[in-house]
Structure 1
Amino acid sequence: MSKVKVGIIGAGRIGKLHAENLVKLHRVELKAISDIFAEQVREWAGSIGIPHVTDDYKEILQDPDIEAVLICSPTDTHVPIITEAARAGKHIFCEKPISFQLEQTREALEVVKEAGVKFQVGFCRRFDHSLKKAHQTVKEGGIGEPHILRITSRDPHPPGKDYVAASGGLFFDMAIHDFDMARYLVGSEVEEVFAQGAVLVDPLFAECGDVDTAITTLRFKNGAIGVIDNSRKAVYGYDQRVEVLGAKGCVTVSNVTPTTAEISTAEGVFRDKPKYFFLERYNEAFIQEIADFIDSILFDKEVPVSGHDGFQAELIAMAAKKSFAENRPVKLEEISAVQSV
């Protein structure tokens, strides 16, 4: 097998990003893309060389030449598409979260397991070279047993009301990346969550039953403690920092800036603000996650981010929502839909 033939389902912002990255990979042939607004993306698709555009994703699943699909459609469509794709024998890359309901996620992953296809979840931050270095440092014992994890994750501006209403809330939409990163960096499962939240940025979040500011404390099975702070508005840019303190040292990852030049004058010391948003900050990571997914197919390797990883992140998000609603720590074992996947 020299190339993997791929179809993309969903041509919104993330679907277009993946498409534009895929056409640059020599090991991939991007055959088709589907979107319910197919006519609106047809010109763009032609400009990057996608030969077929359809408003019916089933055409992609029914194409015997297509070996893998990227599911970039809204979250509430993921489970039925995953199920159909797996039964059609397609390898699957699915954007996060798999679903908003743990039981639905579990059922979808059971179908994937029965079909024997590859399944990767889109937690792109694992593919950032600095965060990978931090993970490897902890894994190899470079800082000893981890004691404290700190993650700062703040968007430069809040999304609009339509997005917020359909997002599943801050814990499922935004913090879920941080929940995955917490497991990835500490190397242990989370056993207890305590989340606090507030509406400090925009009243529309309250109108949608959501929060825009949150602090989540995690207790890991290996004894480590973590704290994650999230905000929907950091006026200075996309704020992405992590730190793991261990028995023998500490590893940190700072913000990425357009340049590292620092200008010192009588008026002060100045440097660039962080890159503005996730498309800039994690551009290389988006490319690498898809390249690794393709490699897992070509060389029959395990995918780097599994369905289990996706399920665990959703489990933490569900516990965080429950903790916030009830104002108390919640053990993950309390969540009724917990099942092994």
Structure 2
Amino acid sequence: MKTIQVGIIGAGRIGKIHADNLMKLANVEVKSIADLFADEDLNDWAAARGILNVTKNNLEVIQDPEIDAVFICSITDTHVPLIMEAAKAGKHIFCEKPVSMDITQTMQAVEAARINGVKLQIGFNRRFDHNFKRIESGVKAGEIGNPHIIKITSRDPNPPPESYIKSSGGIFMDMAIHDFDMARFICGSDVEEVYARGAVLIDPIFGKYEDVDTALITLTFANGALGIIDNSRQAVYGYDQRVEVFGSKGNMAANNDYPNTVEISTKDSVYRDKPLHFFLERYNAAYMEETSLFIQAIREDNQVAVDGNDAIQAELIALAAKLSIKLGKPVKLSEALGLAEGG
């Protein structure tokens, strides 16, 4: 079996996670890693894993004829030009979300991958969570009939620092975008209309960047179902990730994951440990699964599990949510796309 050679661009936390996961797969080699701020620490980290080539030059990775695929894990502003270069070089591409903050640029990147005949998978890892996969498969199999209401709760344990907030793209593009993709995935239908409300209830710093830290979003799907998403940048009890689907024949729900199943009962209270702390703990297995399926798609020439259209649709929902707050009314995705294309 041919060894698939991979290059990673961006050696931050997520880039290193992907590198470690790739090295767990048979007949896969991480040949190179590129990062603008590559230093001695990164060289030591890479050497300990047998990654012999560390560079500050992204093009050195992309233009290497031995590399079959690249993982783009750098900052969002770099994604589109890197996808363009990688597609032109004939490399298969895994790109972290969002592809960009500009839907028209995202469309151009997706089209570049299509024209050049390379695979493009987007890093919506939550689709591969064991709980959420079970709900999606149950809905798809008709276990609860036609879906009527999809409820998603997504709350972070702590707000990010100002340095992150100012360039994050806002709560809808940075945080809720995972939930927008999850809603489409579980419902099995595209979203047609979005109505969002937001507030700054945790830290005034969000308002400084015209962002919110607390949000409610309602979705209207093409199949008639309705969706409700609630987001918060701070849940003091831990990482809160829940999904519920109510349908014509029943209900399915996925609760939080916990470090154990122990429940402690005393005369004063009944309690258990907090949920898994944050996304690295909660979605560790999901990151492994998405990586494995991407490599499998390359090896077997299959469709990728999360494609460019999924990126476009999630970003469109995020754009519509942002416009909805600004306009104070529901916004159709077609309207959001028209405004984006019109500049």
Under TM normalisation by the shorter chain, which class is it? over 0.9
Following the alignment from structure 1 to structure 2, what is the Cα–Cα distance between the partners of residues 187 and 139?
7
Tell me the residue number matched to 1:55. 56
Following the alignment from structure 1 to structure 2, what is the Cα–Cα distance between the partners of residues 2 and 284?
25
Tell me the residue number matched to 1:224. 225
Following the alignment from structure 2 to structure 1, what is the Cα–Cα distance between the partners of residues 270 and 27?
46
Following the alignment from structure 1 to structure 2, what is the Cα–Cα distance between the partners of residues 32 and 129?
31
Tell me the residue number matched to 2:65. 64
Cα displacement (A) at 1:150: 0.4
Aligned residues: 339
- Cα contact 1:153–1:240 (8 A) shared by 2: yes
1:282-310 alpha-carbon deviations (Å, 9 max, x no partner)? 00000000000000000111100000001
Q: Which portions of structure 1, spanning 4 or more consecutive aligned residues, are displaced by more than 3 angstroms?
A: none
Following the alignment from structure 1 to structure 2, what is the Cα–Cα distance between the partners of residues 299 and 180?
25
TM-score, length-normalised on structure 1? 0.98
Cα displacement (A) at 1:212: 0.6
Tell me the residue number matched to 2:22. 22
Following the alignment from structure 2 to structure 1, what is the Cα–Cα distance between the partners of residues 71 and 15?
8
1:66-113 alpha-carbon deviations (Å, 9 max, x no partner)? 000000001111000000000000000000001111110111111111
Residue 37 (structure 2) pairs with residue 37 (structure 1): yes
Superposed CA RMSD in Å reads: 1.0
TM-score, length-normalised on structure 2? 0.97
Percent identity (aligned): 59
Following the alignment from structure 2 to structure 1, what is the Cα–Cα distance between the partners of residues 244 and 227?
10
Letter in 1 for 2:322: K
1:191-231 alpha-carbon deviations (Å, 9 max, x no partner)? 10000001111111111221111000001111111100000
Tell me the residue number matched to 2:184. 183
Following the alignment from structure 1 to structure 2, what is the Cα–Cα distance between the partners of residues 218 and 338?
20
Tell me the residue number matched to 1:332. 333
| Structure 2 residues not aligned, in runs of 5+ | none
Cα displacement (A) at 1:270: 1.3
Letter in 2 for 1:79: V
Following the alignment from structure 2 to structure 1, what is the Cα–Cα distance between the partners of residues 340 and 306?
20
| Structure 1 residues not aligned, in runs of 5+ | none
Following the alignment from structure 1 to structure 2, what is the Cα–Cα distance between the partners of residues 193 and 272?
36
- Cα contact 1:103–1:337 (8 A) shared by 2: no
Tell me the residue number matched to 2:11. 11
Secondary structure at 1:168's aligned position in 2?
coil
Residue 128 (structure 2) pairs with residue 127 (structure 1): yes
Q: 1:337 to 1:34 in 2, by over 3 A?
A: farther
Tell me the residue number matched to 1:312. 313
1:231-280 alpha-carbon deviations (Å, 9 max, x no partner)? 00001110000000000001111000000111111111111110000000
